Amino acid sequence: MKRLAAVLAVLVLLPGLLAAATRHNPGPTRYITDDRGRALFLHGFNTSGSAKSDPERLPWITEDAVQAEYDLMGTNFVRFLIQWQALEPERGVYDEDYLDAVAERVDWYAERGYHVLLDMHQDLYGRYTSPQEHSGNGAPRWATHNDGLPVESQDMWELVYLEPGVMRSFDHFWNTTGEHPYLMDDYAAAWNHVATRFADEPAVLGYDLMNEPFGGSLQGPDFEAGPLAELYRRCLERIREADQDAWIFVEGQAVGVNWGFPSALPRLEDPREGGPRIVYAPHAYPLPMDLGRPYEGDSRATVDRSIDLWSDSVRVTAERLGAPVVLGEFGLDMSGPGADAYVRRMLEETESMSSGRAYWSNDHDGWGPWADTDLAPGPLAEVMSRAYPRAVAGRPVEVSYDAAPARFRLRFTEREGVSGPTEIHLPAHAFPDHELTVDAPDGWTSDWDAERRVLSVEIPDHGEGTEYTITVVPA
């Protein structure tokens, strides 16, 4: 939610959230791991905002565009938008043609080694809150009950959240009205259907249960610890009936949490066999920037303080959830002052947290990496093209990348039960050739895949907790 702050900060949340926004030193970081136990670093895009308005609810992406994205920026992750209205246009009736089209696009990413997160996207509940269908995406017509209340369009689209018909539609979904108690169960059943379809697709890393949840008339801790947590429990139960391996991504409420205030999500039990696979996936739209402040001049320090607040709050919530972190959305219009510096700051922030990230979004709208529909690179492409560890064969301690002069450094410790090489993506513009230094006992080996631009370093076991440092500079 990019500008809803201007209205809701005073109306809804700030007193309680500010009281909770204290500095905190969290416990050990958790990581998303692959089948070898390696810590995964996820670097990519949301694909894409165009799906919201597409008649088929599919993003603009083509297979050639997936390849172009990898060649230009070396990404390994996509948060792929799907929508309930396209999945289940009639209650209990699922559109298999739609899922076939999603699966086709998942295959494009799978063939290039991407990790795919399926995101059940909504904004403003759904398009059917108004007879004119002028705003929103997400819920199908049969699941939309606005009781005839008005929903007017707004120049600032986020303000439609405050329209009476939208508020009432959310209230019915969360069953705060008591009149449509089946809706959350239907939503969880839809997730069961998606998980059944993709459980055997190795590229599908996980499922993002709901984009930017909004509580309608119920806000703050009462919403997050109440109906939102209950929805997540129901979805977890139904997904685990079909898929025991996927990572389940959960978000706090968007209002406030996106700006940097703490979430009140409670710890969720994962009913899978083995350890929990729940990921905390907040979004980041710092409050000063939502209020129109640029990332330059005097306001840059204000934005940086907001980012620090966001980072602290995320760490607190992740520790409570016992979950790794993936930043599900961040971004801005790249034509704005300081835009490239802001994106770079957020990339560095996620690396300091050992967190994955998905930029919003891979579109042709001035926010994304493309200057035009012919896929000429825009200003974002160079910022997103950076060295990063795709997979770490141990417990990451420090990740750093300096663009000028280029230098990549990774410190990690050995962790029992992890196998396979550490993999590092090196962009061609910064590393036309490379020189590798490994601070480790004798016996390590390396391999360079020039086509994929992936450097693999394998270090024999030397015991739990042994620290290693990998440094790469241009040759």
- pLDDT over 70 at 1, yes or no: no
User: 103 in helix, strand or coil?
Assistant: helix
Would you say residue 200 lies in a domain? yes
CATH number of the domain encompassing residue 418 = 2.60.40.1180
Q: Point out which residues pair with 388 in neighbouring strands.
A: 425
What pLDDT score does 377 carry? 97
Say which residues have a Cβ less than 8 Å from residue 296's Cβ, sequence separation at least 6: 337, 338, 341
Average pLDDT over residues 231-249: 98
CA distance 431 to 434: 6
pLDDT of residue 6: 46
Distance (Å) of CA 407 to CA 37, 388, 444: 27, 11, 21
Q: How far is CA 150 from the centre of its chain?
A: 32
Residues 261 and 393 in one domain: no
Spatial CA neighbour of 414 closest among 354, 469, 350, 352: 469
CB 117 within 8 A of CB 130: no
Over range 273-278, report the average pLDDT: 95
Higher-pLDDT residue of 236 and 24 is 236
Q: Among 363, 384, 405, give the residue marking a domain's end.
A: 384
Looking at the chain, the whole-number percentage of residues with pLDDT higher than 90 is: 92
Q: What is the mean pLDDT of residues 436-463?
A: 96
Q: Give the pLDDT score at 13.
A: 44
Average pLDDT over all residues of the chain = 94
Phi, psi for residue 445 in degrees, rounded to 5: -130, 160
- The model's pLDDT over 21-72, given as tens digits with 9 standing for 90+, comes to 444 444 557 999 999 999 999 999 999 999 999 999 999 999 999 999 999 9
Same domain, 343 and 429: no
Structure tokens given for 249? 């991504």
pLDDT at 28: 58
pLDDT in tens, 403-427: 999 999 999 999 999 999 999 999 9
**Residue 175 structural domain:** 5-26+42-384
Whether the per-residue pLDDT at 472 is higher than 90: the answer is: yes
Domain closes at, from 360, 384, 408: 384
Q: For residue 208, which phi and psi values (nearest 5 degrees)?
A: -95, 110
248: in domain: yes
Band (pLDDT 50/70/90 cuts) for residue 291 is confident
Task: For residue 31, tell me if it sits in a domain.
Answer: no
Number of structural domains found in the chain? 2
Name the nearest CA neighbour of 162 among 287, 3, 360, 328: 3
pTM: 0.95
Q: Can you give the pLDDT at residue 17? A: 44
Lowest mean pLDDT among 2-11, 47-56, 277-286: 2-11
Q: Are residues 286 and 413 in the same domain?
A: no
Give me the percent of the chain exceeding a pLDDT of 70. 94
33 located within any domain: no
Domain contains 34: no
> What would the 3-class secondary structure string for 385-407 be?
CCCEEEEECCEEEEEEEEECCEE
Residues 279, 395 share a domain = no
Alpha helix segments (H runs only) across 199-333: 221-223, 229-242, 254-257, 287-290, 298-321
Name the phi and psi angles at 397, rounded to 5.
-115, -45
Nearest to 327 by CA among 286, 364, 296: 286
CA–CA dist 438, 216 (Å, integer):
53
Do residue 401 and residue 333 come from a single domain?
A: no
CB atoms < 10 A from the CB of 97, how many? 10
Q: Indicate whether 130 belongs to any domain.
A: yes
Q: Are residues 102 and 117 in the same domain?
A: yes
Distance of CA 358 to the CA centre of its chain: 5
pLDDT confidence tier of residue 292, bands split at 50, 70 and 90: confident
Q: CA distances (Å), 67 to each of 48, 109, 115, 325, in order?
A: 16, 9, 14, 27
Residue 188 tokens read as 């969880």
Q: Is the pLDDT of residue 9 over 90?
A: no
Determine, yes or no, domain membership for 431. yes
Residues 301 and 397 both lie in one domain: no
Q: What gap in Å lies between CA 368 and CA 379, rounded to an integer?
A: 9
Q: What is the pLDDT of residue 29?
A: 76
**Mean pLDDT of the region 312-318:** 96
Which pLDDT score is estimated for 131? 95
- The answer on 410 and 294 residing in a single domain is no
| DSSP reduced 3-state for 107 | helix
3-class DSSP assignment, residue 462 = coil
Element at 15 (helix H, strand E): helix 14-20
Query: Comparing C-alpha atoms, which of 254, 219, 261 is closest to residue 3?
Result: 254
Same domain assignment for residues 400 and 316:
no
* Beta-strand relationship, 467-473 and 435-439: antiparallel
- 15 pLDDT exceeds 50? no
Is residue 35 included in any domain, yes or no? no
CB 439 within 8 A of CB 459: no
User: Are residues 332 and 447 both part of a single domain?
Assistant: no
- pLDDT at position 2 is 43
Dihedral angle at the C-alpha atoms of 18, 24, 28, 30, nearest 10 degrees? 20
Which band of pLDDT confidence, cut at 50, 70 and 90, is reported for residue 10?
A: very low
Quick one: 161 and 244 in the same domain? yes
User: Which CATH number belongs to the domain containing residue 195 in this structure?
Assistant: 3.20.20.80
Residue 264 has pLDDT above 90, yes or no: yes
Q: Which of the four pLDDT bands, split at 50, 70 and 90, describes residue 290?
A: confident
Overall average pLDDT of the 196-212 stretch = 98
Which amino acid, 369? P
Residue with tokens 């792929």: 80
**pLDDT exceeds 70 at position 93:** yes
**Segment holding 80, helix H or strand E:** strand 77-82
Compute the average pLDDT of residues 278-302. Answer: 94
Q: Cis ω on the peptide bond leading into residue 28 (within 30° of 0)?
A: no
- Residues 377, 396: one domain? no
Instruction: Indicate the residue among 324, 351, 384 that finishes a domain.
Output: 384
The 10s digit of each residue's pLDDT in 112-163 is 999 999 999 999 999 999 999 999 999 999 999 999 999 999 998 999 999 9
- Confidence at residue 25, expressed as pLDDT on a 0 to 100 scale: 47
